[in-house]
Amino acid sequence: MPILAPSLPDRHWRPHVPHERRALAGCTLLLLLLVAHLDPGIDFSHGEPLATVLHRLALNAMPVLAAFALLLGLTRRALLSTWLVLLGAVGLYAAHAAKLDALRMPLLPGDLRFLADPGPALRLFSQYLHIDLLHALLAIAGAGVTVALLRERPLRLLDWRRRLGVGALALLLGASLYAGSGPWRRVYDSQALGFQPWALDQTALRAGLVGSMLLYHWELGGNGIPDADRDAAVTLLRAHAPRLRASLALAGSDAALPDVVVVQSESLFDPARVREVLTDRWLRNFHALKRRGHSGELTVPTFAGGTIRTEFEVLTGAPLTSLGGVQYPWLELDESQYPGLARVFARHGYATTALHPNAMSFWNRDRSYPALGFERFLDETAFPRDRVVGLFTSDAALTDRVLAELPSDGPPQFLFAISMENHGPFDWRPNLDARRLAALPLPESLDEGARLWLGNYLYLLDDADAELGRLAKALARRKRHTVLLFYGDHLPDLGPVYAQLGFDDGRDALAQPVPWLLLDNRNKRPQRRDLHAWMLPAHLLETAGIRDEAYFNIIASLTAAPDFTLDDPVTRAGIHALAQLHLRGELAPVLETILSPATEPDSHAP
């Protein structure tokens, strides 16, 4: 595409294209080639029919070309519009590659919502960026090109009528794509493109990144809680009806209810699961405390990030998979009310408080926490700015605030605390104690880079374990009855470590559990149970003496049954249906119909 170069004496040179129609065709072709090169779902070398690959290319390029047309209508500048769309596309695919590498999950529409309130997200995600001289020079060059192209001469071809037409057509195309209008759903056929909400990384390979994001948005975005399969729920309830009736018949609450503290510990897992890592060195407080409490391994619905997935399961008692593929519940559901732990405790006279030393708006918690039933939410503004270890507010500061929120009298307290100190990235961490860091025992077979990742993580893990010990000791000394639930939200992002060492059980990192611990300062009998995160609230309420909440009562009874297994598809479908009924507020009439004593078969009937 010829661009007139400036002559040296001309101080008023402005970039422009002499052959406008050919330039527009060239810009369009360039963007098509860019998508073909960057998109993981477009590969001409896999032996697929050419028509199939070209069709997939067209589907993924359509939104890109719509953005190009819109900018063209707004600016009348071909080169500037092409450049801006190119930058946006490269940024989109780079973010996808980075997320896939760290979290093993593709970019999703919910990730783009951070752009609406970029401040908190920028503060967190900027920690993952490493700007060297080359990247700085590229950024300066990119800014220079952008400034230069702002001086581009408008296209003569685009008079006001054509400009209006191009802009209107681009808006119509973009709006109809976003809304998923009928014709587009036939063009972007989710079945033909292999859309699978439970395997989004594979969907991105089959449908392309942009295509998979559109399908995700249409199929799952803003649709609320899926309708429940009542037949599946009824089948499960009837199969366990005698046990469930007996459990509901004993429902009630203790007269004096305990204070309840829940700590969701960022990226906490037992590193002894990794090959060559010492088995008796890490989480010493945790392993000592589990001898006087309930503990076990916890299956969580996320890996290396996406804390709100585990958070959703613990606060609502519903499996994330019951949402039909939704990955960011607080962002994508936008419910005015959620049933769950906070509302249960509030109904029993508790003061309900959430504590998290991060921005209140991150993950949309500022809207979702009131909907969950929390009366107060103490975010980063409630913590001293000088109480930082590495990059984030220390676990010690969180422990101090939790203890300060527990009065010796007054109504019972429910505190839900989320730590931040051990949040990634782990490939750098400023201001750690160099001697303490150097003294950490690390596997000799790790290369220098992986040793840095693991060393930083283990340093912070020691802090998390120390604060667990301090908190448990303080709660054990309280005169008031107090229950503490402590668990990890997901494995840390230690990609190089996992790749070089692997795990003792031979399974992939995505299949590894995290630890959980439940302590009662008036009951020190140990018990070991392996659970899913969505089972924790039922177990917690039972320990706290609250047994009059039907859904959690049923979950506690079902999951305690010797024959309970999620490997059974009937059981799994029934659990999903019960969770959906619970979330939609539709469970009570089903229970009344199935588990009412009047519906019990008469054993004396002929």
Q: Which helix (H) or strand (E) holds 352?
A: strand 351-355
pLDDT given for residue 9 in this prediction: 46
Q: What is the pLDDT of residues 104-113, one digit of tens each?
A: 888 888 888 7
Of 102, 126, 123, 583, residue with least CA distance to 379: 123
Report the distance separating Cα 207 and Cα 254, nearest Å.
Answer: 54
Closest CA to 232 of 594, 534, 538: 594
Place of tokens 């010797």: 562
pLDDT higher than 50, residue 70: yes
Mean pLDDT for all residues in the chain: 89
Distance of CA 457 to the CA centre of its chain: 20
Structural domain spans, the chain: 20-220, 253-546
Q: What is the CATH number of domain 253-546?
A: 3.40.720.10
- The average pLDDT across 395-420 equals 97
Q: Would you say residue 7 has pLDDT above 70?
A: no
Distances (CA, A) of 331 to 111, 174, 303, 309, 344: 9, 22, 18, 11, 23
Residue 1 has pLDDT above 60, yes or no: no
pLDDT of residue 598: 52
Strand partners, 416: 262, 354
- 489 touches 267 (CB < 8 A): yes
pLDDT, mean of residues 433-439? 96
**pLDDT exceeds cutoff 90 at 207:** no
The model's confidence at residue 122, banded by pLDDT at 50, 70 and 90, is low
Q: What is the DSSP letter of 304?
A: S
Q: Which two tokens stand for residue 590?
A: 């089903």
pLDDT the model gives residue 193: 81
Q: Which two tokens stand for residue 526?
A: 């140990």
Percent of the chain with pLDDT over 70: 93
State the Cα torsion 73-78-84-90 to the nearest 10°. Answer: 120
Q: Which of 78-82, 178-182, 298-302 has the highest mean pLDDT?
A: 298-302
Q: How far apart are the first and last CA of the chain?
A: 90
Least confident of 27-36, 62-71, 327-336: 327-336
Q: Which amino acid, one-letter code, is at 39? A: D
Q: Give the number of other CB atoms < 10 A from CB of residue 596.
A: 11
Token pair 């000088």 is at which residue?
A: 386
Please give the pLDDT value at position 11: 55
Which token pair is 304?
Answer: 């290396």
Residue 531: both structure tokens together: 């659970």
To the nearest whole percent, how much of the chain has pLDDT over 90? 63
Tell me how far the alpha carbon of residue 571 is from its chain's centroid: 26
If you average pLDDT over residues 205-234, what whole number do you get? 87
Average pLDDT of the residues in 265-277:
97
Residue-wise pLDDT tens digits, 470-511: 999 999 999 999 999 999 999 999 999 999 999 999 999 999
Whether pLDDT at 605 is above 50 = no
Whether 440 has a pLDDT exceeding 80, the answer reads yes
Secondary structure element (H or E) that encloses residue 215, with its range = helix 209-220
345-399 pLDDT, tens digit each: 999 999 999 999 999 988 889 999 999 999 999 999 999 999 999 999 999 999 9
Q: Which residues contact 140 (CB under 8 A, 6 or more apart)?
A: none
> What pLDDT is recorded for position 181?
83
The whole-number pLDDT of residue 116 equals 67
Stretch 536-541: mean pLDDT: 97
Cα separations (Å) of 2 from 26, 28, 152, 155, 341? 10, 15, 14, 15, 65
Closest listed residue to residue 259, CA positions, set 373, 173, 345: 345
Say how far apart CA 317 and CA 34 lie, in whole Å: 44
Question: Which residue is listed with tokens 């969180």?
Answer: 398
For 574, the token pair is 């029934």
What are the φ and ψ backbone dihedral angles of 436, each rounded to 5 degrees? -65, -40
The CA distance from 490 to 348, in Å, is 30
- Name the amino acid, one letter, at 464: A
Residue 133: pLDDT band with limits 50, 70, 90: confident
Q: What is the pLDDT of residue 292?
A: 95
Q: What pLDDT, on a 0 to 100 scale, did the predictor assign at position 127?
A: 67
Residue with tokens 């359509």, as numbered in its chain: 62
Task: Report whether pLDDT(449) > 70.
Answer: yes
pLDDT winner (highest mean) among 48-52, 89-93, 249-253, 473-477:
473-477
Q: Check residue 6 and give its pLDDT.
A: 47
The per-residue pLDDT for 55 is 87
Q: What is residue 119's predicted lDDT score, i.e. its pLDDT?
A: 67
Which tokens sit at 266? 């960022």
Is pLDDT at 118 greater than 60 in this prediction?
Answer: yes
Tens of pLDDT along 287-324? 999 999 999 999 999 999 999 999 999 999 999 999 98
CB-count exposure of residue 442 (10 Å: 0-12, 13-18, 19+)? middle
pLDDT for the residue numbered 497? 97
Cα–Cα distance measured from residue 147 to residue 27, given in angstroms and rounded to the nearest whole number: 19
